[in-house]
Structure 1
Amino acid sequence: MTDSAHADPTVADTAPLRADRVLDAGALRALAHPLRVKIYDILSQYGPQTASSLAERLGESSGSTSYHLRALAKHDLIQECVDKGSGRERWWERPAGGVSFANAEALKTPSGRAATQIVMSEFFKLRQEQLVAFVGRGLESEPETWRDGSMISTATARLTPAQSKELATKIMALIDEAVDAYRNQTGEDVRPVTIRADLFPLPEQGGQS
C-alpha cells in the first residue's frame, strides 16, 4: 500500500513500484490512530494546515490536534512549513514524495501487523466515505464540467502476476506524471482531486470473498 504526496493509497503486495519511503514499524505505530490518519490525509489532500484549522475541520480541540501533529512529526511523517506561520501558529505539511505501508519486516510482528491493518483500514474507510459523498453530491450539486471530468469505473481482466505488475506500473506512472505536473497548481477552477486505483487478485472460483 502506498500513498504519494497528493494521490491515494493503493495496495501493493510486493516491493513499491517507485522509490517510495517505506514506513518503519515506529512510524506505522505513530500513524495507527484514526485521528492521526485523518490529519495526515487532510495534509495530503488540502496542503498545509495549523492545529487550529485542523481542529475546526475535525471538530476537535486545538490542543488535541497539536498533540497528534507532534506525534506525527516525531517520525517525520509531517514537517513544519519553514516559510509559513508566526510565533503564535505553526503550519504543518506532508513532505512531497511517495510513502509505502508495505513493510515486510513490520508485518512479521503482531504489533506491526496490527498497526498496518489500522492504517490501511482507516485510509480506505475515508476513501469510501469520500466516494459515497461524491456520488450523492455529484448527482445533486456538482457542475456538469466536474461530472464530465470525473470517473468511477470498475473492470475485470484475467492476468498473470507479471501482467498485473506491468499494468500496475503503467497506472502508477500515469498517476505520478499528473501529480508531479499539477501538485502545486493554483488558479480559477482548481480543486484537490483524489485519484484512486485498485488492482488486486480475486479469490479463485469457489474461494471466499
Structure 2
Amino acid sequence: MEVRDSQVLAAMSHPLRRRLLDMLKLDGPATASVLAEKTGQAVGNVSHHLKVLSGAGLVVEAPELARDRRERWWRRPSEALSWATSDFVGDPVTEVAETVSLDRQMTLSRGWLSEMETAPAEWRDAWFSSDAWMRLTSAELAELNERMAALFAEFGAKAASDPSVERQSVFVFGRGFRAEP
C-alpha cells in the first residue's frame, strides 16, 4: 500500500497504532480484545486506535471471522506499507512519521540487546548487525533500497510457503541515507 495522503501517514504515526499494524501483519486478523491483551492496553483504547486506523484505510473489518454480531475482527488490507518523503515535502507529518518509525526500530533493537544474553544459543548466534559506508549516486541508493525490500519480501514469504516449520518473529530493518562520517 503506497501512502500518499498525509492524513493516512498521520494516522499511522502513533507508537501504539504502529504496533497494532505490526501485530496484524505478523499474526493476522485479531479482535480488539486479543490486541489489548498482547499490548497490555485497555480494550477501549485499542478499539479507539483501530477506528483511527480504519478511518485511514489501514485496517478493515473481517466480518467473516466473527462468531456473532458483537465480535469485530480486524485485518490489514495490504501486507506492505510504504511512503516516499518526497510526496510530503513541507508537511511536518513526515518528520513525525519517520521519528516514530526510528524510535520503534531503536526500542526493538535495545530490547534485543537487553535480552540477548538469556536468549537460546541458536538465536544469539543468528542475529546480526551490519553497517557500511559507501559512495553511491542517488540512483544506486534507490536500487539498493529496492533490492533490500525484495530480499525482505522473499524471506517474509517463507512462513506462508511452509507453515509446518516453527518460526519466531524477527524484526529486520535497514536505512540508507546521505551522511558524513
Pairing 1:109-188 to 2, within 5 Å after superposition: 113-140=91-118, 142-183=119-160, 186-187=163-164
CA deviation profile, 1:120-176 (whole Å, cap 9, x unmatched): 212221221111111221222x21222233222222222222322222222222112
Q: Per the alignment, do residues 150 and 129 of structure 1 end up closer, same or farther by CA in structure 2, a change over 3 Å counting?
A: same
Q: Per the alignment, do residues 105 and 188 of structure 1 end up closer, same or farther by CA in structure 2, a change over 3 Å counting?
A: closer
- State the partner residue of 1:91: 73
Output the TM-score relative to the length of structure 1. Answer: 0.74
Q: Per the alignment, do residues 42 and 23 of structure 1 end up closer, same or farther by CA in structure 2, a change over 3 Å counting?
A: farther
Shift of 1:101: 2.7
Shift of 1:183: 4.5
- State the partner residue of 1:78: 59
Contact kept in structure 2, 1:31 and 1:119, CA below 8 Å: yes
Contact kept in structure 2, 1:30 and 1:75, CA below 8 Å: yes
- State the partner residue of 2:48: 67
Q: Per the alignment, do residues 30 and 162 of structure 1 end up closer, same or farther by CA in structure 2, a change over 3 Å counting?
A: closer
Structure 1: state its 5+ residue gaps.
Answer: 1-19
Shift of 1:114: 2.5
Identity of aligned residues (%): 29
Q: Per the alignment, do residues 136 and 185 of structure 1 end up closer, same or farther by CA in structure 2, a change over 3 Å counting?
A: farther
Shift of 1:77: 0.3
- State the partner residue of 1:16: none
Q: Per the alignment, do residues 83 and 195 of structure 1 end up closer, same or farther by CA in structure 2, a change over 3 Å counting?
A: farther
- SS in structure 1 at match of 2:74: strand
| More helix per residue | 2
Shift of 1:59: 2.9
- SS in structure 2 at match of 1:92: strand
Confirm whether residue 29 of structure 1 aligns to residue 6 of structure 2. no
Q: Look up the equivalent residue of 2:115 and give its one-letter code.
A: R
Return the alpha-carbon distance in structure 2 between the equivalents of residues 105 and 163 of structure 1. Answer: 20
Return the alpha-carbon distance in structure 1 between the equivalents of residues 77 and 157 of structure 2. Answer: 13
**How many pairs align?**
180
Output the TM-score relative to the length of structure 2. Answer: 0.84
Contact kept in structure 1, 2:6 and 2:88, CA below 8 Å: yes
- SS in structure 2 at match of 1:191: coil
- State the partner residue of 1:51: 32
Return the alpha-carbon distance in structure 2 between the equivalents of residues 162 and 102 of structure 1. Answer: 15
Query: Which residue of 83, 88, 101 maps to 1:106?
Result: 88
Contact kept in structure 2, 1:79 and 1:94, CA below 8 Å: yes
Q: Look up the equivalent residue of 2:176 and give its one-letter code.
A: L
Aligned-residue CA RMSD (Å):
2.3
Q: Per the alignment, do residues 188 and 182 of structure 1 end up closer, same or farther by CA in structure 2, a change over 3 Å counting?
A: closer
Shift of 1:50: 1.5
